[in-house]
Structure 1
Amino acid sequence: MRVALVGGGLTGLSAAYYLEQYYPNVTMDLFEAGDQLGGWVRTDTDHDIVLEKGPDSFLATKPDLVELCEKVGLGPHLIGTNPRVRGAYVFWRDRYYPIPDGIQTGVPTKAKPVLTSPLLSLTGKIALAKDFIMSKGPTTDQSLGHFLRRRFGNQIVDRLAAPMLSGIFAGDIDQMSLKATFPHLLAAEQQARSVYLGSKRRIPPAPNEFVQRYHSAFLTVDRGLEQIIHSLAAALSRTQVLLSEPVERIEPASHQKWSVISAKRQGEYDAVIMTIPAYASAQILAFLPHEAQTILQNIPYANLAVIGAAYDPADIPVKTDKTGFLVPKQADLRMTAVTWVSSKWHYPHVAPLFVLRAFYGRSTENILEYDDDTLTQLFYREIERTMHIQHPPKYLRVFRIPKGMPQYVVGHLERIAELHQYLASFPGLFVLGAFEGGVGMPDRVKQAKDMAQTFGQQMGLSTAEYETSS
């Protein structure tokens, strides 16, 4: 069976890996428009430092990516966060405030830390009591921001929840879908009436074997996450990787096959797997019904920029005893967060420099309209204000990430369900990616693995072949 895979990011490579593992008679052509694999998973190791362009870690509590890393030989190279550094700050009114203990997905689960935090005023703390006296809200989808403001007031949302949760999704909390991001908060309200009480009663899962093995809930690779991409690619034996070869269009062909036309070739395949952004899939899959096209085209994406810098440690005047700091929108800064890489991770064999990453890009702005020089000058001004750094870095890199993060706006899950109803009319076509839900790296691997496990059933492979190979 011949399969075309479109997209050489983590999702596409994971799909290729699992299809090879499960089905020995499947061969694949993997089409990647860029000149290298990995999507936004890129690592800069120049100047003997580790500087990530995109994500810098993944959750060990979601086991799929850890399992995959161990299968491709990266187990000995996985490292956890610095055990001596916990938590982060919020930069507010030109001061650092520790994030109170017990804040989970923007919601307090411990009363004393949040009630004694100087980050909130007396008015903001009194507003938290709304959660105990308000009745249940609607069960329909709503914005995460509206939900939290209704339960806890504006202040804790603006100063804590929004910078924490918007940082995960690079989105506007007042536009994000509650059901597509944190549905357990809605469940807590419905079951306990109080989100605080419902969240406290929610039994956290016991640390899995990977958290215990690596002594951390967050993991990375000792020479950067791009090593996952290289190891996955090296593990493929029946997949032809076609770099710098964008697919121009895909059309149904005769005898239940698919015609794939790229910039360099045309071929027929038994199945097609799309792992590229929604808007790109819409352009290539022009045969889809108008309604399906519209759903794919209308999924918004946020533009992002990441500035990485390495300093002489003597030039850092502030105490960097946490993983970094978040910046609320109301703080009158363009940066959204700063990670103190050298505090968060103990990468082995790196230069004795202090490395940090500053994040730019909110869903309400296009940060990429500025050129690199303008972004660099903006970074210098804001890093001086937030960290009082007077000296230039030894090394600086601007990473531009156009349309880097899909936005799960209200009603997202309903639209995705409708999309899959249309796709069901086209057997042999599989469309997946971060736009469906779950932006983390483990989510991408799980999605690819789940698709591969059902591939045989949908494509008519024998049960014996499937069971034997899996």
Structure 2
Amino acid sequence: MAHLAVVGGGMAGLSAAFYAREAAPHLRITLLEAEPRLGGKVLTALEDGFVVEGGPDAVVRYKPWALSLMRALGLEGEWVGTLPARPSALIHDGRAARPIPEGLQMVVPGNLWALARSPLLSPLGKARALLDLVWPKGSPGDEAFGDFIKRRLGRQVWERLVAPLSGGIYGGDPAELSTLAAFPQLKALEQEHGSLIRGAMVQRRLRGSREAGQLFVSLRSGLGGLVRALEARLAGVEVRLGAPVVGLEQAGGWQLYTPEGSLQADAVVLAVPAGPAARLLEKLAPEAAHALQSIPYGTSATVSLAFDKNHLPPRIGHGILLAAGQGFAARGFTWADQKWPERAPEGLGLVRAYFSGLEATPDELVAAALRDLERLWGRAPKPLRTWVFRWPLGLPRYTVGHLERVHQALGAEALPGLFLAGAAYWGVGLPEVVRMGQAAGQGAVRFLLGERVGLT
């Protein structure tokens, strides 16, 4: 019987194993995960009525792959959208907290009236942004994201709106991001509509708005429910936890080495971060390994705090983003009990802070979150409970040149039976990661069928 080895038990690896199993029910599949649990950065703590997300808390509706996976797992009845809120969130620019303009699409204004009324921008800043409607479109080639937005919408829109929003997605300095790698849709809007604002207005009509709770989806028990559902459907897959793959060789197929021993496989899906993938491919595909090693990562962390609602000030919308360079430690806060239904017991509030690039102990992270809240609120009450989740390899950073590095890295797939998947390549969001896992799992099955190594 043909044997597929999936290295990595995050969402890319789980998706690869699931879709490979669906395509070939009798295929032998082994999934090896270095950590003692599956799911990677998808981790939900369910404790005493709290639903606490350690990593991502939502998927977007207009990217279908994660929702399709949930549907295949029978989870449609568990879907929940964000609670309607106007404004949906605030941005603190170091001086004051101001509402995000309604009708935002990704990070671009899609409602001219809301943009005109926004206190985030000065009259001059608004006038400069509107020049986007008549400004000639630029080259379809890549450019740094900060330069792209400033070219289209002006410096003020970049500093006060887009930088805080995009920094919350990718971490690090969003100005250095590759526009084509991190926000290819925005490049497409410029090329198709000649204007980011005009294109965002079209998208808003098609997709709806975040204020109405139409853009984001989670599960009633948090996104950890997706991991649990996948585990249940992978009952026939051999899952080895605490089993890092430390070596990979081609030897009549593939030989994988772990601290406990080795195993042979006919095909391999490598669904691990860029650094570990590079180490495994160093001798097999040196150019691909070098490209992978060149993809930078940044640390990230989330801190969730439970408070007595009676001791909390009024909180607006779903949360607040904090502009970089203004003395805040966190990138932003989510009011989880106001963003999603049933995330905290009656009478309690749940606040989540997101950190990027901050090296700190759990206690230091909690203290940093409370200092920022004290600055925002004037006084931060003592939390009743805390949860801290740290991710040393938080997210890959798609800096300029990322697409070239990815094409070089994917050259490793010229090795027969090797497939790559994960956030290092074509997108950091759950939908994109699921899509890459699905493509790798199904590609491995096609390879095995083509090689006629019996699947039955």
> Which residue of structure 2 lines up, in the alignment, with residue 356 of structure 1?
351
Distance change (3 Å), C-alpha of 1:85 and 1:69: farther
Aligned counterparts of 1:12 and 1:392: Cα–Cα separation in 2: 40
Return the match for 1:367 from 347, 351, 358: 358
Cα pair 1:8 1:31 within 8 Å, conserved = yes
> In structure 2, the residue corresponding to 1:174 is in which secondary structure?
helix
Q: Does 1:458 align with 2:439?
A: no
1:265-304 equivalences under 5 Å are: 265-304=261-300
**Structure 1 residue 86: Cα displacement:** 5.5
* 1:302-350 residue CA offsets vs partner (Å, 9 max, x unmatched): 1112110000001111x22400011111432121110000100112783
Return the match for 1:448 from 423, 434, 437: 437
Cα pair 2:59 2:217 within 8 Å, conserved = yes
Cα pair 1:79 1:220 within 8 Å, conserved = yes
Aligned counterparts of 1:153 and 1:439: Cα–Cα separation in 2: 27
> In structure 1, the residue corresponding to 2:18 is in which secondary structure?
helix
> In structure 1, the residue corresponding to 2:39 is in which secondary structure?
coil
**Structure 1 residue 258: Cα displacement:** 0.4
Cα pair 1:185 1:195 within 8 Å, conserved = yes
Give the TM-score of the pair, scaled to structure 2.
0.92
Cα pair 1:85 1:323 within 8 Å, conserved = no
Q: Which amino acid letter does the alignment assign opposite residue 367 of structure 1?
A: L
Q: Which amino acid letter does the alignment assign opposite residue 309 of structure 1?
A: L
Cα pair 1:316 1:389 within 8 Å, conserved = no
> Which residue of structure 1 lines up, in the alignment, with residue 92 of structure 2?
91
Q: Which amino acid letter does the alignment assign opposite residue 142 of structure 1?
A: E
Structure 1 gaps of 5+ residues are: none
Aligned counterparts of 1:262 and 1:58: Cα–Cα separation in 2: 34
Q: Which amino acid letter does the alignment assign opposite residue 295 of structure 2?
A: I
Cα pair 1:142 1:410 within 8 Å, conserved = yes
**Structure 1 residue 351: Cα displacement:** 4.8
Aligned counterparts of 1:247 and 1:13: Cα–Cα separation in 2: 16
Aligned counterparts of 1:312 and 1:232: Cα–Cα separation in 2: 35
Aligned counterparts of 1:27 and 1:129: Cα–Cα separation in 2: 58
Structure 2 gaps of 5+ residues are: none
Q: Does 1:436 align with 2:407?
A: no
Aligned counterparts of 1:66 and 1:194: Cα–Cα separation in 2: 30
> Which residue of structure 2 lines up, in the alignment, with residue 82 of structure 1?
83
> Which residue of structure 2 lines up, in the alignment, with residue 378 of structure 1?
368
**Structure 1 residue 292: Cα displacement:** 1.0
Return the match for 1:320 from 310, 315, 320: 315
* 1:400-434 residue CA offsets vs partner (Å, 9 max, x unmatched): 111111111112122212322x2243010111111
Return the match for 2:384 from 394, 416, 426: 394
1:67-466 equivalences under 5 Å are: 67-83=68-84, 87-132=88-133, 134-201=135-202, 205=206, 216-254=214-252, 257-317=253-313, 319-347=314-342, 350-361=345-356, 366-368=357-359, 370-420=360-410, 422-461=411-450
Cα pair 2:15 2:441 within 8 Å, conserved = no
Aligned counterparts of 1:358 and 1:206: Cα–Cα separation in 2: 28
Aligned counterparts of 1:130 and 1:221: Cα–Cα separation in 2: 41
Q: Which amino acid letter does the alignment assign opposite residue 431 of structure 2?
A: P
* 1:103-127 residue CA offsets vs partner (Å, 9 max, x unmatched): 3232223322222222112332232
Q: Which moved more, 1:3-12 or 1:121-130?
A: 121-130
Cα pair 1:165 1:173 within 8 Å, conserved = yes
Give the TM-score of the pair, scaled to structure 1.
0.90
Cα pair 1:158 1:330 within 8 Å, conserved = no
> In structure 1, the residue corresponding to 2:152 is in which secondary structure?
helix
Distance change (3 Å), C-alpha of 1:391 and 1:159: same
Cα pair 2:87 2:100 within 8 Å, conserved = no
Q: Which amino acid letter does the alignment assign opposite residue 136 of structure 1?
A: K
Two-structure CA RMSD over aligned residues (Å): 2.5
Distance change (3 Å), C-alpha of 1:247 and 1:90: same
> In structure 2, the residue corresponding to 1:403 is in which secondary structure?
strand
Cα pair 1:20 1:26 within 8 Å, conserved = yes
**Structure 1 residue 216: Cα displacement:** 3.8
> In structure 2, the residue corresponding to 1:87 is in which secondary structure?
coil
* 1:207-255 residue CA offsets vs partner (Å, 9 max, x unmatched): 7xxx9xx97432212222112111111111331110111111110002x
Distance change (3 Å), C-alpha of 1:434 and 1:390: closer
Q: Which moved more, 1:298-307 or 1:43-52?
A: 43-52
> In structure 2, the residue corresponding to 1:103 is in which secondary structure?
coil
Aligned counterparts of 1:451 and 1:288: Cα–Cα separation in 2: 19
Aligned counterparts of 1:336 and 1:312: Cα–Cα separation in 2: 24
Aligned counterparts of 1:429 and 1:380: Cα–Cα separation in 2: 46
Q: Which amino acid letter does the alignment assign opposite residue 321 of structure 2?
A: L
Q: Does 1:2 align with 2:38?
A: no
How much identity, in percent, do the aligned residues show? 33
* 1:270-309 residue CA offsets vs partner (Å, 9 max, x unmatched): 0111111011111122323322111011101111121100
Cα pair 1:7 1:31 within 8 Å, conserved = yes
Aligned counterparts of 1:413 and 1:393: Cα–Cα separation in 2: 44
Aligned counterparts of 2:451 and 2:380: Cα–Cα separation in 1: 66
**Structure 1 residue 150: Cα displacement:** 1.4
Distance change (3 Å), C-alpha of 1:53 and 1:202: closer
